[in-house]
Amino acid sequence: MSNIKPISAEFPFESNFQEILNSKMHYIDEGDKNSKHTFLLLHGNPTSSYLWRNIIPHLSPLGRVVAPDLIGMGKSDKPDIDYTFKDHIEYLDALIEKLALKDIILVIQDWGSGLGFNYANKHRENIKGIVFFEAIVQVSYWKDMSEEVAGVFQKFRDPKEGYEMIVKNNFFIEAMLPMGAGRELTEEEMNNYRAPYLEEKHRKPLLAWPNQISFDGIPKFTTDIVNSYNEYHKTSAIPKLMFYANSGLIIVPELAQNIRETWKNITSIDLGEGKHYLQESHPHEIGEGIVDWYKDILE
């Protein structure tokens, strides 16, 4: 694996749009449409398909690569909905069905992992592999979090403070993203991430996501889904590849060790230095790691 390849700010992919539940969803569709497998790349909060720009070229020679913008995010429409986990599940499931995606290899991070793990649990016959990092592998408990991180997420979930931080001050884009990138993002990169959320009214999904995280069993909808797919993925024979870093927000080295010991059919790669948005700090290591794993396990 190489650390010397440049990380590009460019997004040289053709935009595609699909009508889903009376709104248009944006997605990138690269590689051979008639390939054996489809790589489905799912982003989380507050990002978009732009997050995958340096990883897509590694995967497109292997098969079809689809990277959607979740509803209300990126270049997808921003309908007047609540943007709950349930809403996102409905839109994503409908998009997968509309595009007739088959024999999927999931590549998932952040809330994209919650959506992907759930889809894999509910549509087991359509998943051939799962690549994940900084992923929602289990429900969370306030007592297990550092005081600093717990304090921030409690503010996010406070109706007044959360609105002020996320909607008024655009905290997820202007603070969380740069802090979690693991390197200094360029102005061009930041402007690409800012573009969908220049108006306050478009930041509704960014505000909704922190309230959908399962902390101490609340909300129940998320808790039930995460517990269900956690149980399934521990024992399923589907090939899995996990990347992790030493300063991750979710998958810290101790949790990575636990996953290695308790999840079936799993390969893991330690990326070393890294934070939450590993696509920004280690895109080529991730891309090359997926290629090697795919050729070894799935090709």
Give the whole-angstrom CA distance, residue 250 versus residue 256.
10
Distance between start and end Cα atoms, the chain: 20
**pLDDT given for residue 2 in this prediction:** 45
Annotated catalytic residue 134 = yes
Active site residue 276: yes
| Distance between CA atoms of residues 41 and 130, nearest Å | 10
Active site residue 69: no
Among the listed residues 29, 30, 87, 134, the single catalytic one is 134
The per-residue DSSP string of 16-85 comes to EEEEETTEEEEEEEES-TTSS-EEEEE--TT--GGGGTTTHHHHTTTSEEEEEPPTTSTTS---SS---H
Token readout for 89 is 């599940």
- Per-residue confidence (pLDDT) for residue 4, from 0 to 100: 75
Give the pLDDT confidence of 82-130 residue by residue, as tens digits.
999 999 999 999 999 999 999 999 999 999 999 999 999 999 999 999 9
Mean pLDDT value across the chain: 96
pLDDT score at 144: 87
Q: Which residue has the tokens 């709950």?
A: 84
**Element spanning 130, H or E:** strand 127-135
Q: What is the spatial distance between Cα 191 and Cα 69, in angstroms, rounded to a whole number?
A: 17
Mean pLDDT of 46-51: 98
Residue of 69, 87, 110, 189 with catalytic role: 110
User: Does residue 115 contact residue 89 with C-beta atoms inside 8 Å?
Assistant: yes
Please tell me the pTM assigned to this model: 0.97
Q: Which amino acid is present at 99?
A: L
What pLDDT band is residue 3 in, cutting at 50, 70 and 90? low
Domain ranges of the chain: 15-297
Across 165-175, b (16+ Cβ under 10 Å) vs e yields bbbeebbbbee
217's torsion region: left (phi>0), alpha (psi -120 to 50) or beta?
A: left
Mind listing the pLDDT tens digit for each residue in 179-206? 999 999 999 999 999 999 999 999 999 9
Q: Are 76 and 68 spatial neighbours (Cβ–Cβ below 8 Å)? A: yes
Contact 210, 234 (CB under 8 A): no
- Cα Rg of the chain, angstroms: 18
Give me the residue label for tokens 């978009």: 48
Cα–Cα distance measured from residue 256 to residue 61, given in angstroms and rounded to the nearest whole number:
29
Give the tens place of pLDDT for each residue, 249-267.
999 999 999 999 999 999 9
* For residue 64, pLDDT beyond 60: yes
Active-site residue, from 37, 88, 233, 276: 276
Question: Are the CB atoms for 46 and 197 separated by under 8 Å?
Answer: yes
**Tokens 């995280």 belong to residue:** 213
CB of 243 closer than 8 Å to CB of 252: no
CATH top-level class of 15-297: alpha beta
- Can you give the pLDDT at residue 294? 98
